Amino acid sequence: MQKHNQLEVDKRRTFAIISHPDAGKTTITEKLLLFGGAIQQAGEVRARKSARYATSDWMEMEKQRGISVTSSVMKFTYRDFEINLLDTPGHNDFSEDTYRVLTAVDSVLMVIDSVKGVESQTKKLLEVCRLRSTPIMTFINKLDREGREPLDLIDEIESVLQIQCAPMTWPVGMGKRFRGTYHLYRKELTFFDPDAEQGTGQIATMNDLADPRLDELLGSQVEELRNDVELLEGAAHPFEEEAYLAGLQTPVFFGSAINTFGIQQLLDTFVDHAPSPLPRAAQSRVVSPYEEPFTAFAFKIQANMDPAHRDRIAFFRICSGKFTRGMKVRHVRTGRDTQLSNATIFMAQDRTNVDEAYPGDIIGIHNHGTIKIGDTFTQGEDLKYTGIPSFAPEHFRKVRLLDPLKSKALEKGLTQLAEEGTTQVFRPLMGSDWIVGAVGVLQFDVVMHRLEYEYNVRATYEPVGYVTARWVTGDKRKLDEFQKREAMACYLDGEGRLAYLAPSQWRLDNTMENWKELEFHATQEHN
Ligand code: G4P
């Protein structure tokens, strides 16, 4: 097949950083942007992060929305590459947004704190990456602190995260004794010098580890390095690009982000080896990024970017073809053709209107609620991208309306918020109380606040005894019977699909055992 736009596609890298809070994601983002010339001084990204963090209150978050949106996608160039870094939500709460962002990238960077090792959120995020075999590079951060033994950390990543590690660099000492890293392939010793600009001191190239110059340069610490690498040779794996691209192996770098140490080594390997935009599965076929017709799918929706206009912005990942301003596209779910004259591309500092964009790029489309998560745009083909899931919520609240006359507005608000992917809504088969379900509890506050300010609905939450949900499908007769017998626990989600809400894991297991003919799904694709 002819490779359309080949140069543009091949030089793009679209990725996200995954880490447990405080491992150093913001710091690394900032350093990457500095290398990419997208920001001029350290502190810019941090200022945005604190602006977001300082405000657990949604009101304040709304004031800051311009900021958080700008940083949702950061585009920068490095060497000849065009890099799109997609931000995953910064708060500690785990949200569906994070999952969905991961469906829009071609690879991820995993940051691990060398003091803490593998933490819970990293584990969860990695599971999501595994669903799509996303290639992962690893940066072990904070080597300037007394952390865990590097060999231990490698061992932990391999056993807990179930992924092979291929160390690319190896640290010499840590904390006060941190001298730098040795690049196992380039055979370069890079000295750490916290006083030097960007923390990088002298770089010395060796013949191999036996080189006597190493003894001169490292003194007594050379033995540690040699011993470690000898152990590594027995235990770790050499870097294999194929295994990395298949998501089976992660190249590992060590450094100190705050001192910009190790970042450039990582970035160079990243642009050289991370995948350019990959082919993507649609329901009917797999679409190559080199195809000429434009296609894109919505993975994230953010509301009311401009409080004066009350509109929403849908983030589309381009999968094939070329976007040009004013082009006509087919909105496949509705079957309507629309003109994309008002698209935004996201830069590190600013949102700017865009004239051209290519596979791997993210464009933002303003709309008034017509676009839903998972929607596909094409140039006429009846195509639907797959793999943008909803996950079974783990937290539930019953919504009690304070003004009974507002039930229509409540329904509208909850349904629209669910379409944006903020939360999921469930309407009972029996009774009238809506249930809101979320993957992380922070979303509950967001929903209440937005119901009040955007939909003029006052409501409160009441606790409700559910712990998980499953979407149920199967033979119609059996489903009818199930709905009769389990009516109290049966709900319809925002898209009208049958869901079973379970009060305990035990109860869920039991129900599934009793209804073997039916299928219970923990995830659901957006229609
Ligand atoms: P996050 O986005 O993953 O949550 O992490 P972030 O970059 O905000 O870093 C969390 C904390 O760790 C910050 O300290 C940051 O300065 C520190 N940090 C990041 N990289 C390194 C490193 O290489 N070495 C050391 N020693 N610390 C590092 P903080 O006290 O929470 O914030 P701040 O007062 O420094 O702004």
C-alpha span between 302 and 315 (Å, rounded): 8
Atom of ligand 1 nearest to the CA of 111: 3
Give all strands (DSSP E) within 114-244, no chain letters.
Answer: 136-141, 164-167, 169-172, 180-183, 188-192, 200-205
Give the residues across from 286 on adjacent strands: 281
Tell me the CA distances in angstroms from 312 to 250, 298, 338, 448, one per residue in order.
Answer: 37, 12, 16, 18
Spans of the chain, pLDDT less than 50: 52-59, 62-70, 347-350
C-alpha span between 103 and 105 (Å, rounded): 6
> For residue 52, which of 70, 30, 74 has the smallest C-alpha distance?
70
Phi, psi of 113 (to 5 degrees): -80, 125
pTM value is: 0.86
DSSP H helices in 133-289: 150-161, 212-218, 221-235, 241-245, 263-273
Cα(24) to centroid(ligand 1), Å = 5
Which tokens in the block code for residue 36?
Answer: 């990419």
Q: Note the pLDDT of residue 123.
A: 87
Which tokens in the block code for residue 188?
Answer: 């370069």
Q: Probe ligand 1: pick from 48, 88, 258, 261, max atoms within 8 Å of CB?
A: 258
> For residue 193, which of 211, 217, 169, 220 has the smallest C-alpha distance?
217
Q: Determine the residue type at 188.
A: E
- Residue ranges lining ligand 1, Cβ < 6 Å: 19, 21-27, 46, 141-142, 144-145, 256-258
- Residue having the nearest C-alpha atom to atom 6 of ligand 1: 24
Q: Note the pLDDT of residue 117.
A: 95
Cα(22) to centroid(ligand 1), Å = 6
| Pairing mode of beta strands 12-19, 81-86 | parallel
Binding residues for GTP: 19-26, 87-91, 141-144
Cα(170) to centroid(ligand 1), Å = 22
Atom of ligand 1 nearest to the CA of 21: 4
C-alpha span between 457 and 276 (Å, rounded): 46
Tell me the CA distances in angstroms from 150 to 113, 147, 220, 333, one per residue in order.
Answer: 11, 8, 18, 50
Give the dihedral sign, CA 325/327/331/332.
negative
| Pairing mode of beta strands 490-493, 356-357 | unpaired
Q: Note the pLDDT of residue 127.
A: 84
C-alpha span between 243 and 241 (Å, rounded): 6
C-alpha span between 248 and 242 (Å, rounded): 9
Cβ neighbours for 519, distance < 8 A, ≥ 6 positions apart: 472, 473, 474
**pLDDT, tens digit, 9 for 90 and up, residues 315-372:** 999 999 999 988 999 999 999 999 887 777 654 444 555 678 999 999 888 887 788 8
Atom of ligand 1 nearest to the CA of 19: 3
Residue with tokens 């960007």: 198
Q: Determine the residue type at 235.
A: A
> For residue 488, which of 417, 416, 422, 435 has the smallest C-alpha distance?
435
Cβ neighbours for 402, distance < 8 A, ≥ 6 positions apart: 458, 459, 460
| Pairing mode of beta strands 180-183, 169-172 | antiparallel
- Residue having the nearest C-alpha atom to atom 36 of ligand 1: 46
Give the 3-state secondary structure of 458-522.
CEEEEECCCCEEEEEECCHHHHHHHHHHCHHHEEEECCCCEEEEECCHHHHHHHHHHCCCCEEEC
C-alpha span between 437 and 64 (Å, rounded): 26
Which tokens in the block code for residue 165?
Answer: 């590690």
Residue 495 CB burial class (10 angstroms; 0-12, 13-18, ≥19): middle
Instruction: Give buried/exposed letters for 376-415 (b at 16+ CB in 10 A, else e).
Output: bbbbebebbbbbbbbbbbebbbbbebeeeebeebbbebbe
Cβ neighbours for 248, distance < 8 A, ≥ 6 positions apart: 133, 163, 164
C-alpha span between 386 and 331 (Å, rounded): 15
Cα(179) to centroid(ligand 1), Å = 20
Which tokens in the block code for residue 70?
Answer: 């700008």
Q: Note the pLDDT of residue 307.
A: 53
Phi, psi of 511 (to 5 degrees): -65, -45
Q: Note the pLDDT of residue 417.
A: 84
Which tokens in the block code for residue 104?
Answer: 């829009």
Tell me the angle at which helices 96-103 and 120-131 cross, rounded to the nearest 10 degrees.
40
Q: Note the pLDDT of residue 430.
A: 87
Q: Determine the residue type at 129.
A: C
| Residue 41 half-sphere exposure toward CB, CA atoms < 13 A | 2
Cα(204) to centroid(ligand 1), Å = 29
